Chain A
Amino acid sequence: MTLLALLWWTSLSLITLALLWMGALIAARLRRESRTRRRLRDRDRLRRICLAIVGGDGEAMAGLRPFRLRARLMAETLLGFEALVRGTERDRLIRAFDAVGMDARFRTRLGRGSRAGRLVAAEALALYPSDATAGALQRLLPGRADPALKAAAVRSLIEIGRPPALALLLDGLGRDRTLDGGTGLAALRRVTGLDPKAALAALADPTTPPRARALLAEAIAANGDYQAVDVLCRAALSEGLDLRLAAIRGLGLLAHPAGVPTLVAAVDDAEWTVRAAACESLGRTGAAPALDAVVARLRDPVWWVRFQAAEALARLGPAGLSALRTASEAVDDTVRRVASLALAERGLVVQAGTGASR
């Protein structure tokens, strides 16, 4: 074949490919449109049935039977309604779905069908606490399952009061990005609340991965366990920034006087994020010995630290406010500005012109 012929054949192939591609998509769309119409119609019907069930119509439950094979539609509708109703109405709804065997159907759906369907089935199972549900959800946790599905399984297990073992959750951190972020923290908060001793041991254990320790520090403190103060004070001296920061935040959440010396030391940390967190935490503890350390941070080179220092002083009662008033007359522009604005924001001083800046 000559180059010329090759070029023309390439063009012809490309345009045929493009048109076939789009033709197939349009045909698929037309097919999907009829399916979508059917799904929307079914969803409407199902919603009306749910409304009747919630309203106490005993006969309405029979209307669910034709939909019992459609786990995704049932799970989405159930979760949508469940978020809107409470008390006996909610119980009625959950029982009605249970009566047509939806809990078993949701468990089966965990392992087959589209990803979206599996996810929503895992979420719906939070409404059906049982050994079978716990077993089905726990089977998703080890191995290489979809991280989002794992996160949904963890949430549901916690909801049904069968949280995964802390070790399993910590093992998942770092391996699955979905558990590594805010979702992991939320799950850890609940799990540590249920098993505080194991959580404290894992936090104190230097072999626990640093990221997991950082999340644990925040989670344990959020649960208000004062036994954590010592461990957090030690963690606040860690070289890892994440862990140090989490420990300082945790000490602030606990607001225990025993944490104050550690927080005062952290106010001079080399990292501005730690300094800001330390100021914020000292504001929460309301400890008078912290006053001088916090006042010194009003001249920090980073605004966020200055702002947190001023906020902390405002929370430290009359002594803190007095320190702020003194600072608002300081010679140093930076100190004066941050202190006077903190006072002005609280309506304590009418500060002409501070709203204007560069």
Chain B
Amino acid sequence: MSWDSWALLEDAAVVIALFVIATGLLQNLIYIAQLGLAGAALIERPPVAEPGAMWRRLSEAAPPIALLAPAYNEALTIAQSVRSLLSLQYPNFEVIVINDGSSDDTLQVLIDTFDLAPVQRNHDTAVDHQPIRTLYGAAHQPRLIVIDKVNGGKADALNAGINVSRAPIFCSMDADSLLEPDALLRAVRPFVDDPERTVAVGGTVRVANGCVIADGRVIAVRAARHPLALLQTVEYLRAFLMARLAWSRLNTLTIISGAFGLFRRARVIAVGGYSRGTVGEDMELVVKLHRLMRDLGEPYRIAFVPEPVCWTEVPESLRVLGRQRARWHRGALETFERHWPVMVQPRYGRLGAIGFGYILLVDVLGPIVEILGYLLVPLFWAAGLLSLDYLLAFLAVSFTFGVVVSVGALALEESELRRFPRARDLVLLTVVAVLENFGYRQLNTVWRLRGLWQYLRRSQSWGTMTRKGFTSPPPVGTGPRM
């Protein structure tokens, strides 16, 4: 190699190394800012511990809610799930189960368990979805409506539910997730406190693996026993208690989990309901709502409430988890592709600068930069272009930043929510918060790159989400998005 080429390579190595370092530093600074914002939000509005107090304070003013639970091939668990939903503590709600063309006995189980019969119901046709075959009502459960429709995916099923619901607010969820009895009462608080401006509210989703579950309820919170589920527990805490709470405080929250979110029905209809043909329909909907409200120039709020808890079972196999993460990443990229112009249009303000800036940095550039760092920096070092001392020092800073951020999320949980009743679970999670930086974080980057590859190839596959089930043998369905 000539001297000029070598000098050029050396310059390139420095530029790439600086770019990787700068991006990593910026990401970590954002995480620290999120930690501060989330902490401030929790101090400003601490959770109310006692369910009786929530009922006293909110029940008189709580608006009606329609709970939309799409179900696909969930015959083994659906009866228990619906019973659990019907027993939620909320003054005025209806449960709309959408059987999305299941090929198993989901519908028959519902018919037999709840004594369903076909009913006529005047309903909207504002948002598109696959045809409804029959609507069912329950003889002894006036709150229950079951929609039997042609298969079209989760977004399609939710659209059917939106059309059939009549309450001003609907709650989207997964039929196989578990809601805490007072989750609706807690989540509705922003709609009661600020009814004019609030268009959507997200709630915390937590890992149910390891918890003691009976009759569709989490009766004792425990840390998961499987290492992979434990790693995801820390990740979920970081995602919900830190990132979403922080962005919610700035009104730049761009995602509300498909596993649990409340939306104002009229606004969702105004944006055409859930987008079909994307795997990130939950993120897509929230971004569409932001855009609608900013285009209308009306004051609005998309809030996140840390207390309402929806419990979900997370994958305990690398294969299934990898597929899920690739799909989530693909969803984020699809949404970014559709809406990136908000970054350059001043009327979208913070949504573009902070919400989409964050997606660009963390979701679009993040995995590429991280993998570049992992591959090129050792290569440059091997070629003698980078100093080993500096390489190790930068790696150490990067890892310890990661540890501080994870521990910070745990600290938020511990200082305000304290859902883990045993101190030893907390110790275990602290250890996991340190260990996740060595191996798991890198694996996540690989899965996200796979998501990027699928996105570039325009793959629309959801993959198969295998669950063990809370009380029964494994059903097969679509996984929740964190």
Using a CB–CB cutoff of 8 Å, the interface residues on chain A facing chain B are: 3-4, 7-8, 10-12, 14-15, 17-19, 21-22, 25-26, 28-30, 33, 76, 79-80, 83, 115-116, 119-120, 123, 148, 151-152, 177-178, 180-183, 185-186, 211, 242, 273, 303-304, 307, 310-311, 338, 341-342, 344-345, 351, 354-358
Contact = CB atoms under 8 A, between A and B. Distances in A.
Contacts of A311: 122
A357 B127 CA distance: 11
A87 B387 CA distance: 82
Interface of B: 46, 48-50, 52-53, 56-58, 60-63, 118-126, 128-129, 131-135, 163, 166, 191-196, 266, 389-390, 393-394, 396-397, 399-401, 403-404, 407-408, 410-411, 414-415, 418, 423, 426-427, 430, 433-434
B417 to A, nearest CB: 12
A29 B397 contact: no
B400 A15 contact: yes
Contacts of B193: 177-178, 180-183
Contacts of A120: 53
Contacts of A242: 196
A338 B399 CA distance: 61
Contacts of B396: 7-8, 11
- Interface residue SS majority, chain A: helix
17 contacts: A10-B397, A18-B404, A25-B414, A26-B426, A79-B53, A83-B52, A116-B46, A152-B57, A181-B193, A182-B60, A182-B192, A211-B196, A310-B122, A345-B121, A351-B120, A355-B118, A357-B131
Contact of B163 (A14, A351, A357): A357
Contacts of B135: 355
Contacts of B60: 182-183, 186
Nearest to B147: A355
Contacts of A342: 122
Closest 10 CB pairs of A and B: A182-B61, A344-B120, A7-B393, A14-B400, A11-B396, A341-B122, A303-B124, A18-B407, A182-B192, A11-B400
Contact of B393 (A4, A17, A357): A4
Contacts of B423: 26, 29-30, 33
B131 A358 contact: yes
A15 B403 contact: yes
Nearest to A16: B400
A304 B426 CA distance: 50
B403 A18 contact: yes
A12 to B, nearest CB: 8
Nearest to B192: A182
A309 B414 CA distance: 52
Nearest to B405: A18
Contacts of A182: 58, 60-63, 192-193, 195
Given A310-B122, A358-B131, A17 B404 contact: yes
B62 to A, nearest CB: 7
A243 B295 CA distance: 24
Contacts of A152: 57
Contact of A14 (B389, B404, B411): B404
B129 A180 contact: no
A341 B426 contact: no
B163 to A, nearest CB: 7
Nearest to A242: B196
B199 to A, nearest CB: 14
